[in-house]
Amino acid sequence: MDDNFKSSQTTVEAEVVDSSVIDENTFRKVLIKAGRSLAIPALEAYEMIIDPSTPPQARLTMLAALTYLIMPLDLIPDLIPVAGFSDDLVALTAVISLWSNHITPQIRDRARRKLNKWIPL
């Protein structure tokens, strides 16, 4: 394997781990506003990011999708009722389906528990 490739791969892995910290308070506020239908894939993505068994490439794409969710201005601004979070949901579900083979039952369970704690039925 090319030494330059190995070096760049290590750099990407380190950056993903370093940048995987998401402000949980901001994240929680966005999810409460968005509702349970968007919260569950977002929490699954979040749990995948913090799970050490998730490959760096999957973490990076999950982080990008969650960053898109948290940004107030995106393709369809989140301030627009109902439609505002639709593009975020599409982005999250697309990324999660791409890496679905890495979602373990434990990740799903942690996401559900956090969902029920943050947005009770």
Which phi and psi (to 5°) does residue 113 adopt? -65, -40
For residue 80, the model assigns a pLDDT of 60
Rounded to whole angstroms, the Cα distance separating 93 from 81 reads 20
Give the SS3 label for residue 61.
Answer: helix
Greater model confidence, 84 or 41: 41
Cβ proximity of 71 and 22 under 8 Å: no
What percent of the chain has pLDDT above 70?
72
pTM, to two decimals:
0.72
| Lookup: tokens for 41 | 């894939």
For residue 7, the model assigns a pLDDT of 45
Rounded to whole angstroms, the Cα distance separating 112 from 60 reads 22
Average pLDDT on 49-78 reads 81
Greater model confidence, 97 or 106: 106
Average pLDDT on 100-117 reads 95
Average confidence score pLDDT of the chain? 78
Average pLDDT on 115-120 reads 93
Does the pLDDT value for residue 23 go beyond 50? yes
